[in-house]
Structures are given as structure tokens and as C-alpha cells.
A and B are shown apart, each in its own frame.
Chain A
Amino acid sequence: MKVFHNIAQDFRRNKVIYFLCIPIVLWYVIFCYMPMGGIVIAFQNFTPARGISGSPWVGAEHFIRFFTGPYAWRLIRNTFMLSLLDLLFNFPAPIIFALLLNEVYCKTFKKTIQTISYMPYFISLVVLCGIVVDFTKSGGVISSAVAAITGSTPQNLLGNVRYFRTIYTVSSIWQGLGYGSIIYIAALSGVDTEMYEAATIDGAGRWKQTLHITLPSISSTIIIMLIMKMGSMLNVGSEKVLLLYSPAIYETADVISSYVYRNGFETYNYSFSTAVGLFNSVVNTALLLTANTVCKKHTETSLF
């Protein structure tokens, strides 16, 4: 009862702010929650002509088909590998970058570096992938450089199943490094400078300061980012994979979302596609909840 009373009071006090919220809330309801009803087509043989109400129900048939099919294991493995690499390299990269920038005292230099590092983020993904494809073609800049270093003949790097993951991860780091560091730079700017002064007096060098002051100060940010990262662990976006892959490298490049795309939009298996997508979302939610619980237990920070 008290809770309701508090809410009511809060509402009276902050009327305008609640009012401002309305568009965002509506946006979520309309575009994020209402479409979730569409999940039911995973249990149907859906065709747009018959609609959700008219399509026949088939139970878990599509899930059974996916897991007994020849590609389930490969898709999960590929998706998981790309996510894992992302977590191992792409997650710490902006943190390290932010820490390094934090140590730079020349303001002009710092700002220049920051601006340059943001740039790739603002290139459209299509253009970015076009650049990657061009550079890794036989005769492309990267391809030729790799060939010169290893002393082999230039080859199309994207045609080799072994290189796809590297290309995918490195290009992600390149694109997201600067932009990803913003949140950490913001957190760093909030660290009390008096603590550094005190540490200097106590005889702590740069390294010790980073270890004992900077990192603990931004640890809550890092943990929140980590939890959210876990939540999208299996959520490797189809766009980039679709732009980079080709049938020749399905072995390492075909992920759940690109498979969903091919099924849904190239062969119109809407229901099957939704079933696979639903599986993906369920795993993501489970990972998110697990990560959150673990973090809650061991640190005081958690998402909810």
C-alpha cells in the first residue's frame, strides 16, 4: 500500500517528467512488445496470406527440425565463437584505450586521437564491409601485405574458412574502439582527482594509480557493460556476416542470424526462421540472467 502511495506522490510531484516519458514508453510498447506476439508463428506453419489466426498449428516441429538438422551444431558453434572472440578482444579493447587516453596530458593530442578513433563508427556498415571485402581480395591492400609478410601468394582472405573469424573480430574492434570508449572516458572523468594526489604523496606510480584507483572507480561501469554484453552473447548480428560471407566459408561464417535470414527471406520459411530466432533469444536471456546473478553475488553491482 505504501508503495502505491509513494508512486502516486512521486507522480504528482513529477508530472511533467512522466509526461515526457510517454512517447518512449509508447515506442517500446508498439515496436518492441506488441511484435513479440508474433513469436507464436514459430509454432505454426505461417503464411502471410492466412495470417496468424488462419495458419495451422504444428507444435514444436520447427524446433525439432532445427536441432535434428545438419547445421544446428555448426551454427551454434560459429555464433558462440564469434561472440566469445568479441568478448575476449572487443570488450576489453575500449577499456584499455580509455585508460591509455586518460594518461595523456596534452589536450589537443587527446582530442585529436579521440575524434579519429570515433570516425569508423560513423561509416555505414555496408560501406565498412565493402572496404573490408576490397582490402582482403587477392590484390587488395591487406591481402597483399599478408602475402608479403608470410611470403605466400596473395589470396582472397575472405575465401579462406580459417581467416573469417579474425577478419570479423579485427574489423569490429577497428570500428567500435573509439565509440565504445566514450562511456569509460565519461566514467573516468568522474574519478576524484584528490585520490590521485593522495596516492602520489603515498608514493604510488602511474601503474599503481591505475590499478588501485582508476580501475576500481570504473569497475561498476565495466560490470554493467559486461552483463549487457552477456545478454547479447549469441546475438551476432546478421548484417555484418551477410555482407562478408559467401557460400565458400559457411563452415565458419554461417551464424544463427544469417541462417534465419536465408530461411526467412530467401526461401520464405517464416515459421522455421522464427523458431530458430526464438531459440537464440531464449539463450540470450538465460545468459543475461546468469551473468546478472553472478555479478550480484560477487560484487554489489548488477543490472537489476
Chain B
Amino acid sequence: MMKNKKSLSVLCLALAGAMLSTACSSSPSQQSSSAAPSTSGSASVSASSSVPASSSENEAKSDVLDELPLPLTNEKVSLTLWKPWNNDYTPDLNEFAVVKEMEEKTGVHVEYQTVLTSSASEKYGMLLASNDLPDMICHTSNIAYPGGGEKAISDKIYVDMTELVEKYMPNYRKLRLSDEDTRKITVTDSGAIWGIYMLRSNDALEIVPEPSWCGLVIRQDWVKDLGMEMPVTLDDWHEVLTAFKTQKNCEAPLMVTNIGIPKADYFLSAYGVTSEFYNDNGTVKYGPLEEGYRQYLEMAAKWYEEGLIDPNFISNNVSWNAPADYIATGKAGAGTLSWAATADTYVEDGRATDPNLYLAAVQGPVLKKGDVAQSRVTSYCALTPTALTTSCKRPEIAAMWMDFMYTKDGMEANSYGDSSCFTEENGKYSYTDVVMKPSSGLAPQSEQFSHIFGDNLGLVSWQRFDLLNPAERLAAREVYDADGTSLVLPQIELTDAEGLEYNSLYTDIQTMVQEKTAAYVMGTESLDTYDNFIASIKAMNIDRCIELKQAALDRYEAR
């Protein structure tokens, strides 16, 4: 008995320990915050190798550069650049041949501090907390300085680059002024430049937005088989999806996200609204408050009842790419898909069982023929800004180095890799066998990432995709692109205080809207209660959220 008691107490201790540990780990936000100081040391090991700034103040400070001198400097300058970086094939960006070539051309050595994209947001927080900043920081879509770039300048973390761009960045300056949208995106509301944006081109040294990367697709082989036309209006779609359901015995004719609306608000946009905030000729509106949203729900509830919408939409967690086990197996008839996936491996797998499987891109549905759906995916021409930090000892060299990425050499490094990877003839580029038939045995689409400098800074050509992808996929882009974007809000920015207020209001509103939308589509709640629903989100102060967004949009337009 004694022994028993003892072993029991040991066991209890162990269990108590286990419980404590789960209790502690249940609040990861706390952990990450306090882990910050301990890891920050290693996060920025190779901080700028402090170049003496004394001797080289002769960099023609007063003069405005019209052309970049190459090499940029005659002395040995070393800079550090922090960037999120995912590459399954080559571990270290610093070892890239293209990086070495760039160093030869510019005379500037850049040390890349890379972090995995998945944990970049967290690492970024630690980096800022560490007080040991690199010279340059590249922001990807999930990283933003809290409160925005302007706040970063006033916090003395980033440098206001307005003057540097004017003086030392002739290529970037010309490019950003050549396009009205780009000019607006690349400055803050007060007109300051806090980051240098990656710009899109199609091989030439000019800004050309990349075509839309994701859109609506449909089983064209079925449409043909049934002797129907490709659907245009909502009524056409109803007919086609019904035929899919009854004659093709399709389980989920239309794939939608887990709240019951397809990605990019296809179908909903036919009613002239989107699922969240949208732009109605300069006025910000909120979709669920509008009559169009109710009309969509009415239609969707009917379609769901008829089995035209995926009966399992709430569990299928559809994102941009409709799931392969549906769209490529005959279980689904239409959904959203990225152009790169329209002829991807899983479609090829699907063809093993159904050789006719053909997913064709199709324009967003509209109410009447001749209209155009207005909420397609936009690909902005200016993305992922790179900021210069206050700890950079040679801002003018850093600016010039960044500007190099907007020259022809820079564009080639970004898009095509080092000189062994591509050939150019009269402005037409092609990859060599280094990329097309790599020794690694990878597909060219993957192999390119071991050679190109990447998609974060400088001028990047999307034309290269043409060299790497079959025509079938590329054709989808044109169709996606034919839809409009007039409902889509530009990249507007809330100020620090606005952001806090907006978040505290909107999170709960979003919860309610998502919950109710799914319930209306599934018919578990009758649309008679819609007025109550609107009243509740008004009570949660949606009007204030719209006001904040409107103010931000006005500031954006006034840039």
C-alpha cells in the first residue's frame, strides 16, 4: 500500500507537470513576446560591418544622378539586407551565382539575412525589438510596420527616402513617376517615400502590371458535352450548373469558400457588391449592408437547396485553388483556380481517369449580357517595399544599390538569373539548359528559383512565365484579366490609432457576418431576419469602420 501511494504521487506530479505545461503553452502570444529578447541576438548576427563613413563623403552629394555609375563605388562597401525567403532547393541566397555577379557589377557586397516566410511576421517583430537593425529590410505581404511606414520614420526606425530617391535613384524615380497608380502606391498619405517597391514589367524597362493570377474556371468539356454555351449571366450559370448536377451527376457543381461566397467574390460581384469593403466610385461601402448582398444570399440559398453549391462547403475550406480531389475528379464543375494550376499536375492526374477533363477559365458571371464582373483579383504593379533603416551608415550607396535593381542588369538578375541562365536577342529572352534541363532534375518552374534573385526588390519581369509554362495555362490569364476591378479598393493605409480602433470594432463584426452569411446560404436561418442582422452590425458600429476606410481612401486619392 505504501509503495502504491508513492508511485501514485509520482504519477500525480508528472501529470500536474503535464497540465502546467499545457496551461502555459496555451498562450503562444505570450511566449513569442518574451522569447524575443533571447533570440534576437542570433537573428541579426551579421549586422552591418560598419563602414567608416568619414573618408567617403565625396559621393557628389549635391548633384542629382541621372545615371548610375558602375561600379557604384570604388571602395569596399558592405551592406546587410533582411528578407523573408523560401527556397526548398537552395539553402543560402548568399551563395547564388547571380548575387556574386551583382557584386562584381556594383562593387557592393550585400549580406543577406534570410528568414522563412512562414515565420517572417514573428521574426520581423523580434528584429525591430532587437535594436540591432540591418541596413535594409524587405517587407513581404505578411509583414508591415505597425502603424505604417510614416510611423516607422517618426519612430526613427526607417529613413525617409524621398530625398535619396530624388538624388541617387534615377531609374526608380523615372519608373515610379511613369505610372499614376504606382506613384500613388509608392508614397505615404503625406507624400513621403519610406520604402522602395518592387515593380512589375514585361522584359522592357517599363511598368506593366502582371495579369490576374486567379479566377473562375469551369469544366469546359462538360459544357461542350451537354451541348451548352459557356455561361455568361447568372441565369446561364444556373442552367449549366443544374445540368452538371442532373446529367453529370456532379456532387458539388460550384465550389465556394466556407462562408458561401466564391473567392474574389465571383457571383456576388454580379450584384455590384463584394463581401467586405468596396469602392463605389470613390465612396467606401460595406457589402453586407447593401441590397445586392441580400439578393445574392437569396440566390445562393436557392442554389444550395437545389444542390448546385457544394453541400459540404463549410467543411471543405476552399481557398484560392479549389481542392484537387474535387475539381479534378468530376466531383466539382466550377470554382476558382490560379492560372498556374489550370494545367497542373493534379489536372494531369485527373486526366488519367477522365481524358477529356478540361478546366477552362471563364469570366465572372453578371446579371445581363454585356456587363463585366468588377472584383477580380488585382495584381498590383508595386509590391513588397524595401526600407532603409536608420542604422545604415551609407544610405546613398544603399540607395544606389537598390536603384541598380531597376536597371536592365537588375531586371535580368531578378527575373532570369546569372548570365549562364539566359540568352537575350533583340529584347527577347530565353532560358538556357541550366534552367530548362537542370542537373538537379527539377522542373524548370522550380529550378528558376535557384538562379533568379527573386521577387522582392527591383524590376521583375512576369514575361518569364511564358517561357516556363504551357500555352494552355497562359491562356487562362487573359480571361481572368478581362474582368474588371472597379469595386476593389486600392492599397489604402489606416494610421496607427485608426488601425487599433478598426481592429477592435471589426473583428467581432466579421465574426457575425461570416456566421450569418453561411447560415443564410445553408438555409438554417431565414432571410426574413436579414433586417435584424443589418441592425446588429450597425449596432456594432460598422459605420465607424466605413468612416475610417473612407478617410484612408480619400487620403490615398489625394496623394
Contacts and interface: CB of A to CB of B under 8 A. Distances in A.
Q: Do A and B come together as binding partners?
A: yes
Given A138-B311, A187-B8, A277-B26, A49 B21 contact: no
Interface in A240-263: 246-251, 254, 257, 260, 262-263
B315 A39 contact: no
A52 B515 contact: no
B508 A70 contact: yes
A38 B146 contact: no
Contacts of B145: 49
Interface string A243-287: 000111111001001001011100111101110011011001000
A31 B24 CA distance: 8
A18 to B, nearest CB: 15
A220 B518 contact: no
Contacts of B128: 48-51
B315 A45 contact: no
A69 interface: yes
A269 B504 contact: yes
A190 interface: yes
Interface string B13-41: 00111011111111111110111100000
Contacts of B113: none
A71 B314 contact: no
A145 to B, nearest CB: 17
User: Per DSSP, are chain A's interface residues mostly helix, strand or loop, or mixed?
Assistant: helix
Contact of A35 (B16, B31, B122, B155): B31
Contacts of A52: 33-34
Interface residues of A, number: 74
Contacts of B536: 70
Contacts of A70: 508, 512, 536, 540
Contact of A250 (B7, B315, B515): B515
A137 interface: yes
A198 interface: no
Contacts of B518: 246-248
A228 interface: yes
A267 B315 contact: no
B514 interface: yes
Contacts of B510: 267
Interface string A193-212: 00000000000000000000
Contacts of B25: 31
A264 B12 CA distance: 33
A225 B147 CA distance: 48
Contact of A51 (B20, B36, B122): B36
Contact of A159 (B17, B126, B314): B314
Interface stretch (A6-14, A104-112, A117-125, A231-239): A231-239
Given A51-B129, A268-B503, A269-B504, A231 B29 contact: no
B125 interface: yes
User: Per DSSP, are chain B's interface residues mostly helix, strand or loop, or mixed?
Assistant: helix
A232 B24 CA distance: 12
B24 A269 contact: no
B124 interface: yes
A247 to B, nearest CB: 4
Nearest to B307: A138
A159 B522 contact: yes
A231 B19 contact: yes
Interface in B423-478: none
B511 interface: yes
A92 interface: no
B23 A303 contact: no
B38 to A, nearest CB: 9
Interface residues of B, number: 64
Contacts of B504: 65, 269, 272
A48 B19 contact: no
B503 A269 contact: yes
A34 B20 contact: no
A234 to B, nearest CB: 11
Interface in A15-38: 24, 28, 31-32, 34-38
B146 A47 contact: yes
B34 A48 contact: no
Contacts of B315: 133, 136-137, 156, 158-159, 246
B34 A49 contact: no
B121 to A, nearest CB: 8
Given A65-B504, A156-B314, A161 B524 contact: yes
B150 interface: no
Contacts of B23: 231-232, 235, 281, 284
A239 B455 CA distance: 34
Nearest to A274: B29
Nearest to A183: B11
B332 to A, nearest CB: 13
B204 interface: no
A220 B507 CA distance: 46
Contact of B30 (A24, A35, A50): A35
A224 interface: yes
Interface string B333-376: 00000000000000000000000000000000000000000000
A278 B29 CA distance: 11
Contacts of A221: 8
A93 interface: no
Interface in B290-322: 311-312, 314-315, 317
Nearest to A285: B23
A38 B26 CA distance: 13
Contacts of A262: 507, 511
Contact of B26 (A160, A257, A272): A257
Interface string B134-156: 00000000000111000000010
Contacts of B500: 45
Interface string A56-86: 0000000001000111000000000000000
B251 A139 contact: yes
B414 interface: no
Contact of B21 (A31, A47, A187, A247): A31
B79 interface: no
A98 interface: no
A35 B34 contact: yes
B4 interface: yes
A31 B34 CA distance: 10
Interface in B73-131: 122, 124-126, 128-129
Contacts of A269: 503-504, 507
B330 to A, nearest CB: 14
B27 A69 contact: no
Nearest to A31: B24
12 contacts: A37-B34, A48-B125, A49-B155, A50-B128, A156-B312, A190-B4, A190-B7, A221-B8, A248-B524, A262-B507, A273-B29, A280-B26
Interface of B: 1, 3-4, 7-8, 11-12, 15-17, 19-31, 33-36, 122, 124-126, 128-129, 145-147, 155, 157, 251, 258-259, 311-312, 314-315, 317, 500, 503-504, 506-508, 510-512, 514-515, 517-519, 522, 524, 536, 540
Given A52-B34, A71-B511, 13 more contacts: A32-B21, A35-B24, A38-B33, A48-B36, A48-B128, A50-B128, A231-B23, A246-B258, A247-B517, A248-B258, A248-B519, A269-B504, A284-B23
Counting from the closest, the 4 A-B pairs by CB-CB distance are A48-B125, A38-B30, A248-B518, A247-B514
